[in-house]
Chain A
């Protein structure tokens, strides 16, 4: 019975709306655009947020990254041609962290160098990461074949290396890389393992640039080669020659480019960070380090996302409000146009609630149709954005449900008043209406 009523009412609604196709379509456009903008905006926002969060998560949410930063230029060493600049994190710093900070799971000191690697007659620019055997614990890299660096490699300062798949692709066309020797600077290194490539998106690049400008030439486009930290220290030394502008050459001495501290739980990240900073500030007079907490970045990203969502939500809400007003306007016109029909129906036994039901369902039909079309259009826009704008977008089920719910709510809210007006018309007056 109820189903029949529903079907009858829907059928009647469709007929009435069909009689005024153009009007119905134009009215629905407001809802279509409102809903599709909700979906598109949410998809773009969600895409951006997920990308940012994934990048930050790759840095490790339990990690605290301390990076060496070149301090602001100091001219107190008055050398004509050559100056010697010593700054940055030291082995002693890493040692201090190990000894004085509780709740630390691992500490990973690293040397970072930009180098070129040769295999036979092929050459590729890479990033050398001189590090410790437990580096994989703080990094998302996965061992693909062979092994990672070992403590024996460290101890004996062996000439071994682990390369990532990017380097494999660029250097080894036909040969199996494991067991081959590659050449960097003057020395040969045996490949003992292959790991997955550390993906880094644009945001990470920005982070890197901001932190260590000049140290590493951006990790995005080059592969990584991992060497034992001790080997790097022995073979590459700690000096580097910087040719800087007209002032000539300057020597720089940096022990470590990076120390990553991983704590036991996320709760300990922020307290540990404070301890670290206190400790560092005591021993570093120059401002030659920077502490990065991915967890904090994650929180910031979430905060930004919340604000973003509120702004987008308000815009969408306004457009839906405008759409809803448009619908109400049309429904009021429809009601007064169909006064006679209302009178006839009342004479033939329709109660007030029947009339309300009829007009409300017509409004609902209009907005739900708009909602569905809006969802289709709104799902299509993110694809265009991804395709042409090369921006990631994610359409969540939640946003579809939300958009549909909103259009239904708009329909009910803006349909109620016209329906109420219709129901409260005097049947006698309505029947006389021409």
Chain B
């Protein structure tokens, strides 16, 4: 559909994600916990970035911020030129659905829904028509190699297959960035490699990919590695 215009609009090299002096802190009782401190970061369209770091370094928080699930305490986050910190809950929901594709470690498929219906969920919230979303969901399922399992429930699929459904789902609205949180963390090495291949393929097709991982192997494919330590970028 017309969503593909975006890739034209942001041709390779345009900054998509911009963090400026970004801070995030949580109030834990009386103590203020600084999770992210003064982060400056730019991710360009079409990049493949891996975010690494030990647990507690702020990776999850960064991912939540990138995914517009949370707002920074201070500083600027602009996604494709739009200032995220100023948006309200509904607008954030809209942005999440339209511009961000999530891939989770534990797949996070909805158990009651079959493959097609799971892929349709983001399109449903963007107001796609029934026919259009069904057609696109079928295409995406075929793209990740599940064309013959359209009506299977998540419980009837292997971990690798479930993660492929999740990837198809993340592509549903043709997002600006794909955020993957330990995408191979729950998979055996073979399925993990398959998933990695799909992700690398997506990157080759021009998708912006941000992966949070411990896995050196995944990081090795990335063009850039951002290492977080203690809420700050140690190396990029």
Contact = CB atoms under 8 A, between A and B. Distances in A.
B74 interface: no
Interface in B165-188: 169, 173
Interface in B76-109: 89-90, 93-94, 96-98, 102, 104, 108-109
Contact of A348 (B89, B112, B125, B130): B125
B121 interface: yes
Interface stretch (A23-31, A339-347, A398-406): A339-347
A30 to B, nearest CB: 24
A431 interface: yes
Interface of B: 64, 67, 69-70, 89-90, 93-94, 96-98, 102, 104, 108-113, 121-122, 124-127, 129-130, 169, 173
A7 B127 CA distance: 14
Which bucket holds chain A's interface residue count?
A: 20 to 34
B28 to A, nearest CB: 15
A245 B121 CA distance: 92
A431 to B, nearest CB: 7
Contacts of B122: 348-349
A348 B121 contact: yes
Contacts of A348: 96-97, 102, 121-122, 125, 169
A8 interface: yes
B236 to A, nearest CB: 25
Interface of A: 1, 4-5, 7-8, 12, 15-16, 19, 340-341, 343-354, 427-428, 431
B152 to A, nearest CB: 15
B125 to A, nearest CB: 4
B98 to A, nearest CB: 7
B93 A12 contact: no
Contacts of A431: 69, 104, 108
A29 B67 CA distance: 43
A342 to B, nearest CB: 10
A351 B67 contact: no
B129 A350 contact: no
Contacts of A346: 69, 93, 96
Nearest to B173: A349
A120 B111 CA distance: 88
